[in-house]
Structure 1
Amino acid sequence: MVTFKKAGAMLSATALSVGLLAPMASASTLGNERMETLPIQVAQTNSTVTKEDLMKRFRELFPNEFSNVSEKDFRTGAGFSRTTDSTVSYELSFTKHIDNQYVHGSFRFVGETLELESFYYQPVNTKDVLFPAKYSKEEAQKVADKFLEKFNKGEGYELVPNAHDFYSSSILTQPVEYSFMYEKKNSGIPISDQTINIRVLGDGTVSSFYRTTPPKNNFTYDDPAKKQNESSIANRLQDALKAQLSYTIVPDYSTGDHKVKLVYEPNSQVISGIHAQTGEWLTLDGLSSTLSAKPITSIVSAPLAAKQPNMTAEQARALAEKLLATDIKGVQLEIGAVDETTSETGKEVFNIQYMYNYRNGGTGTVLTIDKATGEFIQYSDIKSHLEVESDDSEADVKLTQKQALDKAIALVKEWIPSSAHKFALPVNDGYHESYNNSYNFTFPRIVNGLTVVGDNISVGVDANTGALVNLYISDYGDLEWPAATDILSEQEATKMLKDELKLKLQYVNHPKVGNEQHYSLVYQSVFKEGSSAGIDAKTGEWLDAYGMSSSDKPKITHPTAAEELNYLIHAGILEVDESFNPDASVTKEEALKILLKSVTYMYYSSRYNEYETTDQTFTDITSEHPLYSFVTRALSMGMLDTSTKTFNATSPLSNQELAKWVIGTLKLDKPAQLSDIYDLKYSDAAQVNQELRGYVALAYGLGLLEAENNLLKPNSEVTYAQLAQATIRLAHKMNEYQINNY
């Protein structure tokens, strides 16, 4: 039987010609409202959904919300199926200009009953959403709980206390947004992959909703009455638990540099958990009665020659044309730009953009090749994702996992030979991916006999032919690898892990245990900061998911700036210890870091990086200076200028200098430079530097800085407390003036 591999839109030629599937901004300019009456018909289900159907469902869920958006503002998207199942989803979205800002909303409905799977809403930013927000976290939770009632009628979702939020914003120009995770339960036991996430803005607006509930139904569950005793399982885990020392790479997003830490983590075989009924270990490949610990064995014992040293752009294009060629009927390969650039790990590379074009659209991605060696950094065979006619019968799995691993090793030697000696054979079993019928393996990097977390080769091979499906290498090159001396012993780290070990009983839908619609009952190990927690081998501190110390941060008391200081501390913007004095003077270096981390994302990108292209800096801040990225970022924003020639990083920051920084950030330099037009009616106005008179007048006039007893104190040194308050005020003004420095 021949069907569409992915459900596509069954539309008339007329509809396609005017672009129903075009981006919303393009569709809005067509002036063809007749398009919106066309149905979305999906091949695999023969169901028909109209905009009217979607709007009706939308108004059922949001009867009182979005009053400033009318039906004509909405656009629909064609239904499509997911990679692993045939459930169809439909898009409804709008973009509207309100109060000189763009308001966005996007909603996704799934299945025949048009259940809401997700939505995202970005309203007009007001002062109420910024720190300090109108709603506290406790008040926001009540909003989220009430919103959940629309979807939780008898479904058993409960709030997960203290759930980690990976997407929390820390910069003050962005809205305060609270995240709440709810997990579904069966017989009072959490179901691992059935959750709802609701986010609430600081003004009480629900900004997003995401449901991970699988589209299937009629699930079966292990009987909780048949589970083994928790204490006996805990004893088995305690006996098997062992701390493993490895290197962990921690990126510094503000500089693009990477630091290496020695970290103890639980042995990987224990992390997946134990089947609560059988007592067997849960592994990627199913259940196992025993734990297997594979030795670290290098792929090759000595370096291999590079595949094609000093590759040219022409050679890269030729390789791509040969590698990516296809004989699929109706599909045409288009090689786009061959971009010579630098990767995030500092390598000179070729990024080759390519597309597979077919009748109703196209699918594309990027092939990345190391310029120095001619070897792959990133490759993915996307031909299996093309929306073209294809045989939909079940794919053959002809290779065993061992045979597939042998193929993967051969492919590493073929496509990235000069790096093969840095990596070891997989220490964990590979896994089979049914949606594209491939085996996938991870080859860890080895340094000084230790594995490197986050630096590996990922290889996917076709389970039928052994052909390369995808390959990615994250080799960070030469880093400073600390010696494993003066660290916790393995026994000490193991004891720390055992002391914090707890069990969490939950239902897990494992593809290699039972069937696709069955949930197994599993005891999983949980440590102090979660199952992926690690311990800094040098300091003995627990680390969070980002490799940062997770020790409790201090809470500062201060008569006027406690709230502002504590926000900066807990957002990671201001680092303090028990000796911190809020009323101490702040240096220019520290002040610049605090301001920039507060109002802009200090992300370094080697490809789109103004730091590399700027010819402005100070004579005492060279490209090797640790403050260089901050100074050049501030120069590009207008916070600083080089009129003073030197920056003097360790000198204290004065009030009038801070006034110039904040006014420059607000792009008000030109009016500030008209110093003669300002009448400063302050007792000490004569002490203000004439060149800074306009900056001071504007900073105090806009309320960014505050005078005491009619005194500006222009030459007084700024304290941490004063800077914290000024930082909050600056962020509010940037939001008001719509100045975004991401």
Structure 2
Amino acid sequence: MVTFKKAGAMLSATALSVGLLAPMASASMLGNERMDTLPIQVAQMNTTVTKEDLMKRVRELFPNEFPNVTEKDFRMGSGFSHPKDSTLRYELRFMKQIDNQHVSGYFTFVGEALELEQFYYQPVNSKDVLFPAKYSKEEAQKVANKFLEKFNEGEGYELVPNEYDYYSSSILTEPVQYSFMYAKKKSGIPILDQSINIRVLGDGTVSSFYRTTSEKNNFTFDDPAKKQSESVIANRLQDALKAQLSYKIVTDYSTGDYKVKLVYQPNSQVVSGVHAQSGEWLTSDGLSSTLSAQAIKPIVTAPLAAKQANLTAEKAQAMAQKLLATDQKGVKLTVESIEETTEAGKAVYSIHYMYHYRNSGTGTTITIDKATGEVINYSDIKNSLELEDEDNDTEVKFTKQQTLDKAIAYVKEWVPSYAHQYALPVDEGQHESYNDSYYFTFPRIVNGLMVVGDNISVNVDAKTGALVSLRVNGFDDVEWPAATEVLTEQEATKLLKNELKLKLQYVNHSNVENDQHYSLAYQPVFKEGSSATIDAKTGEWLDVYGMASSNKPKIKHPTAAEELNYLIHAGILEVDGTFNPDASVTKEEALKVLLKSVTYMYYSSKYNEYETSNQSFNDITSDHPLYSFVTHALSMGMLDTSFKTFNPTGTLSNQELAKWVIGMLKLDKPAQLSDIYELKYSDAAQVSQELRGHVALAYGLGLLEAENNQLKPNSEVTYAQLAQATIRLAHKMNEYEIRNY
């Protein structure tokens, strides 16, 4: 359960919003018209780039798109480049109101040739983009392939087989989107960091395009003729592969709740792969002829005292201001708000702050544990400020080992009470080339086992040794199952080995040859659709969400097969081999299906539950597993407490479902005027007087359907009927622009 209360007033909501604006709503979109009249002079290229130049490129690439957008709707941004990347980029965007909806587009062009690097388009919403979409995945792929032809002039991009299921976990009020990844190939071998991603909406509209762009040129590549055979490398991986037993935190994103599973995963040392020519192991430091299995060792052997127990909001704000203080010229720190909430079972202060400079601002959040006074989520964003006197040429002074020592010291300084629960990194530190830093992960240890998903991550600047970021991804109030009745290590290792396959690709590794060279590497891959994770108790392969990745059942039904299968494959409706689509659905199951289908339950419960924490039913208390669903439904008007009990195990009648869906559409008030509605059905007299208006509206809007001129108001709703009603409700919510997040 998530609680939420204010610990301080919002100081400047307007200022905070400046740093949170999406690319569509930058300063140029907010009225900076002067920028459009000023050409960008680029000294390095000795050229002038104007809005007309960018408009010309848009019309070349999109000759028939955006018919209702005129030249005056476009805005041009200033030229820019990313840190450690001298490639110049130019932005062009538009935003327009069409049919009471916002339509927007965003383009990024790179280099002297103004090649398209990124494109995003949000068109007017239509029913064709919603499930069931007008275009199938196969039809959408043809659209993406054709779009790629604009950029694929002999460059050799090929479609990467989609590992993800056709069905998306997005809510049904949002557009269906298909994502296609194309990898650039050299001699028929994919290049790991050169790809194009294209998204297509359910109505066949291309909504986004992104191409990885590198400032590097004159690449060199390993000769494929000199690679070792796949069978030789496979045997080496088979010999080194070993299953490791761990705990895994599995989060239910519909509620924010979490549980723990015992899982087996391959030993991390083999995951990076093998150099295809030398047969050596790929590591962050380069190539190694042997694997080093690092023992689990805690950061400290004895608990350290908390930094400051029982922290107040005032002291938390003072601590944050001291940590965030800056002496950068022209930059002013402002604490915007401080809120007391819970995160992963902990009471925390969430402090929103901004750095104001020039006519702009950048901000984020720092989180402090209330019980210990320790900073559990911090990111130094000062270096991201685009200041005129910014110096990015500082030389690297710290080695990886020195930055690791710094990271350990920062853990002891900022989160001392956590240190004894976490181990030194067992994986190699990752070098972040864009800002010359090293990223380390300290795993939690419970009962001698590592915990996947619970760790302390620390990022240290290799130039200055400063703390770049620190986050405790920790969970409290967790029940850790005993490691009993699980597969043996040998059994799990055999499962991994049986599914092991190799993927040959080019990788750019700065510690192998040089950063202008691509090495051939064999990388291990396991069961398609899984995350190389096995449930230690059942032996099932799990996906990234901790769910069994075995094929889900496909339901046959004369009228609702498509709707039922969507809900099942999206994880909204969980069924087994005994599932009967025509069985009556309980109120509990119906409420879950509806809410998971049309709202992001996790975010809703996190931010809205506090508003309705005093409202519920007598049989749904705060510790009831259905509590977050009920409180959210109450806050949206879908439910009300006119009846004191909810009766979750009871069945749902047609007229009760009518009340729910009409409440979701915010039509409860007119529905209460029951006397004004005329029901011309043979069994209209069976409708409860207080629900007469709800039934009339639900059937009149086509959310529910009568059969042989009968409403059957007291009949029990089946799974098939619920699935159909859910899809219709999502379409109406989209039409009425109702967003229940």
Range class of TM-score, shorter chain: over 0.9
Amino acid paired to 1:123: P
- 1:402 Cα deviation after fit: 2.7
The 3 A distance-change label for structure 1 pair 169 and 252 is closer
Distance 2:349 2:155 in 1: 50
SS in 2 for 1:721: helix
Amino acid paired to 2:595: L
**1:342-399 superposed Cα distances (whole Å, 9 cap, x missing partner):** 2432322233344444446444433322222121112233333332355757533333
The 3 A distance-change label for structure 1 pair 624 and 608 is same
Distance 1:353 1:726 in 2: 41
Amino acid paired to 1:639: M
CA RMSD, 1 decimal: 2.3
SS in 1 for 2:195: strand
Q: Report what 1:177 is aligned to.
A: 177
**1:196-252 superposed Cα distances (whole Å, 9 cap, x missing partner):** 111111111111111124243322111100101111000000000000111111111
Q: Report what 1:90 is aligned to.
A: 90
Map 1:302-341 → 2, pairs under 5 A: 302-328=302-328, 330-341=329-340
In the alignment, is residue 109 of structure 1 matched against residue 109 of structure 2? yes
SS in 1 for 2:670: helix
The 3 A distance-change label for structure 1 pair 616 and 721 is same
**1:491-520 superposed Cα distances (whole Å, 9 cap, x missing partner):** 010000000000000011112212222111
Q: Report what 1:366 is aligned to.
A: 365
Q: Report what 2:473 is aligned to.
A: 474
Map 1:42-81 → 2, pairs under 5 A: 47-81=47-81
Distance 2:416 2:194 in 1: 42
Distance 1:86 1:270 in 2: 35
- 1:287 Cα deviation after fit: 1.1
- 1:605 Cα deviation after fit: 6.3
SS in 1 for 2:458: strand
Distance 1:325 1:351 in 2: 17
Contact 1:313 1:338 in 2 (8 A): no
**1:152-188 superposed Cα distances (whole Å, 9 cap, x missing partner):** 1101111112233799443211111111111111100
SS in 2 for 1:586: coil
**1:539-566 superposed Cα distances (whole Å, 9 cap, x missing partner):** 1110111211111011111111111111
Amino acid paired to 2:317: R
- 1:407 Cα deviation after fit: 2.5
Map 1:32-43 → 2, pairs under 5 A: 35-41=35-41
Give runs of ≥4 in structure 1 deviating > 6 Å. none
Sequence identity of aligned pairs in percent?
Answer: 77
- 1:337 Cα deviation after fit: 3.2
Amino acid paired to 2:731: H
Contact 1:589 1:649 in 2 (8 A): yes
Distance 1:46 1:381 in 2: 35
Amino acid paired to 1:702: L
Distance 2:596 2:165 in 1: 19
Distance 2:120 2:395 in 1: 40
Distance 1:201 1:179 in 2: 9
Map 1:225-304 → 2, pairs under 5 A: 225-304=225-304
Distance 1:695 1:733 in 2: 15
Contact 1:342 1:607 in 2 (8 A): no
- 1:109 Cα deviation after fit: 1.3
Contact 1:271 1:531 in 2 (8 A): no
Q: Report what 1:211 is aligned to.
A: 211
Distance 1:386 1:717 in 2: 60
| Deviation larger for 448-457 or 598-607 | 598-607
| Deviation larger for 649-658 or 382-391 | 382-391
- 1:529 Cα deviation after fit: 3.0
Q: Report what 2:123 is aligned to.
A: 123
- 1:327 Cα deviation after fit: 3.7
Map 1:425-464 → 2, pairs under 5 A: 425-464=424-463
- 1:704 Cα deviation after fit: 1.3
The 3 A distance-change label for structure 1 pair 166 and 383 is farther
Q: Report what 1:665 is aligned to.
A: 664
Q: Report what 1:629 is aligned to.
A: 628
SS in 2 for 1:204: coil
The 3 A distance-change label for structure 1 pair 221 and 90 is same
Q: Report what 1:136 is aligned to.
A: 136
Amino acid paired to 2:282: L
Distance 1:391 1:581 in 2: 65
- 1:623 Cα deviation after fit: 1.1
| Deviation larger for 397-406 or 704-713 | 397-406
**TM-score, structure 1 as length reference:** 0.93
Unpaired runs of 5+ residues, structure 1, are 1-20
Q: Report what 1:7 is aligned to.
A: none
In the alignment, is residue 499 of structure 1 matched against residue 498 of structure 2? yes
The 3 A distance-change label for structure 1 pair 208 and 431 is closer
Contact 2:702 2:728 in 1 (8 A): yes
Amino acid paired to 2:698: A
The 3 A distance-change label for structure 1 pair 469 and 599 is closer
- 1:678 Cα deviation after fit: 1.8
**TM-score, structure 2 as length reference:** 0.93
- 1:268 Cα deviation after fit: 0.4
The 3 A distance-change label for structure 1 pair 308 and 493 is same
Distance 1:234 1:511 in 2: 25
Contact 1:455 1:475 in 2 (8 A): yes
Distance 2:355 2:601 in 1: 36
**1:7-50 superposed Cα distances (whole Å, 9 cap, x missing partner):** xxxxxxxxxxxxxx9974865664x7554221234576665321
The 3 A distance-change label for structure 1 pair 43 and 560 is same
| Deviation larger for 352-361 or 561-570 | 352-361
The 3 A distance-change label for structure 1 pair 642 and 399 is same
Distance 2:405 2:170 in 1: 46
SS in 2 for 1:144: helix
Contact 2:683 2:710 in 1 (8 A): yes
Distance 1:323 1:735 in 2: 44
The 3 A distance-change label for structure 1 pair 335 and 677 is closer
SS in 1 for 2:85: coil
**1:291-311 superposed Cα distances (whole Å, 9 cap, x missing partner):** 001000011111111112222
Distance 2:567 2:91 in 1: 38
- 1:607 Cα deviation after fit: 5.6
The 3 A distance-change label for structure 1 pair 190 and 419 is same
SS in 1 for 2:142: helix
The 3 A distance-change label for structure 1 pair 558 and 611 is farther
Distance 1:227 1:616 in 2: 67
In the alignment, is residue 145 of structure 1 matched against residue 145 of structure 2? yes
SS in 2 for 1:436: coil
Contact 2:24 2:94 in 1 (8 A): no
SS in 2 for 1:420: helix
Q: Report what 1:398 is aligned to.
A: 397
Distance 2:321 2:30 in 1: 37
| Deviation larger for 231-240 or 689-698 | 689-698
Contact 2:612 2:635 in 1 (8 A): no
SS in 1 for 2:79: strand
| Deviation larger for 397-406 or 671-680 | 397-406
The 3 A distance-change label for structure 1 pair 663 and 324 is closer
Distance 1:732 1:473 in 2: 40
Q: Report what 1:17 is aligned to.
A: none
The 3 A distance-change label for structure 1 pair 468 and 25 is closer
The 3 A distance-change label for structure 1 pair 531 and 291 is farther
Amino acid paired to 2:275: H
Contact 1:296 1:424 in 2 (8 A): yes
Q: Report what 1:616 is aligned to.
A: 615
- 1:285 Cα deviation after fit: 1.8
Contact 1:432 1:440 in 2 (8 A): yes
Contact 2:492 2:534 in 1 (8 A): yes
Contact 2:195 2:212 in 1 (8 A): yes
Distance 1:391 1:737 in 2: 48
Distance 1:550 1:616 in 2: 38
Unpaired runs of 5+ residues, structure 2, are 1-21
Number of residues of Structure 1 aligned to a counterpart in Structure 2:
720
- 1:51 Cα deviation after fit: 1.0
SS in 1 for 2:239: helix
Distance 1:553 1:732 in 2: 26
- 1:714 Cα deviation after fit: 0.9
Amino acid paired to 1:432: H
